[in-house]
Amino acid sequence: MRYLLISLTLLLFACASFPKKNNLERINGNRPTVINPYFSDLSKDYIYKAKINFAEKSFGGIFAIKKLGQEHYRVVFTTEMGNKLFDFSFIKNEFKINFILSEMNKKILINLLKKDLFVLTSENPNILNHYQKMGDSMFFETKIKNNTYFYITADERLNKILETKGSKEKSDYIFTEIENDHAREIKIRHKNIKLTIDLKAI
């Protein structure tokens, strides 16, 4: 009986939601909003020095994101000599590959890049729930493409987006060195897949 109780306790803990596991306090009331401003300016070209590591491959170069209109973005990754590695377009829910290097033309990598870049450029997510943790951090729960994400803010500034499944963390998007709604450093880390993306503004 004791072993059964222990097993049930472990099972319940494993099945707990992310907010419960992390002792987040739900805030009731009007549904809040949160904005991701980091690629929202139509007048700017967001240019980064980038490094993408996938499995045993490593790609380095210049990474550019340009907002062309409402929910319309162009994302281009080139070598420092200007040769294209990939060129993607996002128009609302549509994704178009304008070009991709054969070495990067792997279905799993394309799907991961598509998902990550869609998250980075999603400005106004639909907030489902709102939580607070001890201190100033606020957690805004949302769904993007049927996946659960928490937008985490401190001092009313977005500093992290966390993808979760159940109680587990799947990937995170970390924004640092923020100046005037411009995140000069961005790191993307996947927990169970060998993919990392590091961006540093030029």
pLDDT tens, 75-116?
999 999 999 999 999 998 899 999 999 999 999 999 999 999
Average pLDDT over residues 6-27: 68
Nearest to 28 by CA among 177, 166, 150, 131: 131
Residue 1: the pLDDT is: 54
To which residue do tokens 């980064």 refer?
48
Query: Over the chain, what is the mean pLDDT?
Result: 90
Measured over the CA atoms of residue 110, residue 116, residue 120 and residue 122, the dihedral's sign is: positive
Distance CA 167, CA 169 (A): 7
pLDDT tens, 127-173?
999 999 877 789 999 999 889 999 999 888 999 999 999 999 999 99
Residue 8: the pLDDT is: 38
pLDDT band at 13 (very low <50, low <70, confident <90, very high): very low
This prediction's pTM: 0.88
DSSP state of 147: E
Distance CA 202, CA 117 (A): 19
Name all domains of the chain by residue range, CATH numbers in brackets.
16-201 (2.50.20)
pLDDT above 50 (res 12):
no
Least confident window among 13-22, 65-74, 157-166 = 13-22
Distance CA 21, CA 150 (A): 14
pLDDT tens, 178-198?
999 999 999 999 999 999 999
Percent of the chain with pLDDT over 70: 92
Give the Cβ contact number of residue 188 at 10 Å: 21
